[in-house]
Amino acid sequence: MGKATGFLELDRQVESYREVDVRINDYDEIFSGSHNLDLLQEQGSRCMDCGVPFCQSSNGCPIDNLIPEWNDLVYKNEWQEALERLEKTNNFPEFTGRVCPAPCEGSCVLGLNNPAVTIKNIELAIVDKGFEEGWIKPKVIEYRSGKNIAIVGSGPAGLAAADELNKMGHSVKVYERSDRIGGLLMYGIPNMKLGKDVVERRVQLLESEGIEFITNVDIGKDLTTKELKETCDAVIFATGATQARDLPAENRDAKGIYPAMDFLTSNTKSLLDSGQPDQSDLSAKGKNVIVIGGGDTGTDCIGTSLRQGAKSIINFELMSRPPEDRSDNNPWPEWPVIYRVDYGHEESSQVFGEDPRHYQLLTKAFIKDTDGNVKGIKTVNVDLIKGKLTEIEGTEKTWDAELVLLSMGFLSPEHYLSDDSEIELDQRGNYLSEHGDYKTSKDGIFSAGDCRRGQSLVVWAINEGRGVASSVNDFLANS
């Protein structure tokens, strides 16, 4: 522990985003750019080097990052050694440092009675400095096992599995149905939160280490699982949970209602292909936009709609507004369910004069014009009474909307791949396999990530990718 009294002497300070009136005019990352290393060294000294570091426990970091160790090293200005500690557990800290909600900070022991250590800021600064200084470079893989692994899906789970298996000496091919590698990282998270140059930099690094990436091939359609298995010793399904939850309200067939991920993907692809925001029917330009559902994806829809030039933006939340502080039934070290203002909320508030979120709203019906386009939504307020959502009489309201984005999470992976491979599904429709084992019902086929455990965080996908790599390695050693 570098400074025993650091947590007593210093207050929490986080690195700021770029100013709202600047960042809303582009799709560059919202982060301010260069890190304030002196500030972060001070913040590192706030870490208490706890006897039981809950930040890296099951309530905290899913990949067991050695957080107190690299906090202390940053405080001591030993950045390269801090990077070595970070890379022991996290394959892609440049991703998690940007997009992870930081469950580690939610379970920080200092957070019991003070603001938590700024773990996420420090993590990102470590890896960014690693790239800037040239400390992160392709690793030479000196041993090759002669075993071949195919990975279906190039999101964070697939990439983490590929990275681990490649380091073990196996030959890895990653198949992606889209035109670019990265899955959720490339098309599901907008540029403002995760620059695509950051994703491509890591992909190029993995490629230079020997991993082969194959795009525009949809396993289960373009190539069967049987054909794939004939060319390799093991197969990993890391396809994500891409079956979006729908909203079967009256007039759902109206034109102008889209899953949030279709909207985000369309804009990111347009930016990458042409350098211009999306101009298709999915564009929010000049439209009253309503985003149904919150979370990170809802926020991303707000931020993207704003940059496209939306006329207005409203965000429907089904549940009530969270409290400012932890409630009694949400104790530390659980993730704190509290009111937060994310980047999209802040931007929309500044542009339109109020927070876009409206709580306790249930969508009753969509309204269509004579051409079948959506032009509004009918809602009613609801309250949670004895565990049941109950409509509040006299609260019906109609809202104008020419674009509706459904951001209500995901149900499961799509099932054409599981049908093709004939693997079993669990009761939620995910690919059936156990955490720690990852074997599906078919010999030699494994699954990991959101397609196995359900919709979750990027850091959990990395956990799953690392885990399935270990399981596959054991399988190959015994086969």
pLDDT exceeds 80 at position 61: yes
> Across all residues in the chain, what is the average pLDDT?
96
Residue 34: pLDDT band (50, 70, 90) is: confident
Average pLDDT over residues 48-56: 92
Strands 171-175 and 212-214: parallel
Average pLDDT for residues 67-82, to the nearest whole number? 96
The alpha carbon torsion through 141, 162, 92, 447 (nearest 10 deg) reads: -150
Q: Structure tokens of 314?
A: 């409203």
Report the sign of the C-alpha dihedral through residues 33, 36, 40, 41, in that order.
Answer: positive
Percent of the chain surpassing pLDDT 70:
100
pTM (2 d.p.)? 0.96
- Convert the pLDDT of each residue in 350-361 to its tens digit: 999 999 999 999
When pLDDT is cut at 50, 70 and 90, the band that residue 2 belongs to is low
Q: Does residue 29 surpass a pLDDT of 80?
A: yes
pLDDT of 160 over the 90 cut: yes
Which pLDDT score, from 0 to 100, does residue 120 have? 97
> Structural domains in the chain?
6-132 (1.10.1060.10), 148-242+411-477 (3.50.50.60), 246-408 (3.50.50.60)
Locate tokens 């929490």: which residue? 12
Q: What pLDDT does 1 receive?
A: 62
Q: In Å, how far are 45, 193, 356 from 348, measured between CA atoms?
A: 35, 16, 6
User: Dihedral angle at the C-alpha atoms of 224, 225, 226, 228, nearest 10 degrees?
Assistant: 90
pLDDT classification of 145: cutoffs 50, 70, 90? very high
Q: For 4-8, 15-19, 190-194, 266-270, which range has the lowest pLDDT when averaged over its residues?
A: 4-8
Tell me the β-bridge partners of 325: none
Q: b/e map of 217-241 (b: 16 or more CB within 10 Å)?
A: eebbeebebeebbeebbbbbbbbbb
Residue 460 confidence (pLDDT) above 70: yes
Q: Residue 441: pLDDT band by 50, 70, 90 thresholds? A: very high
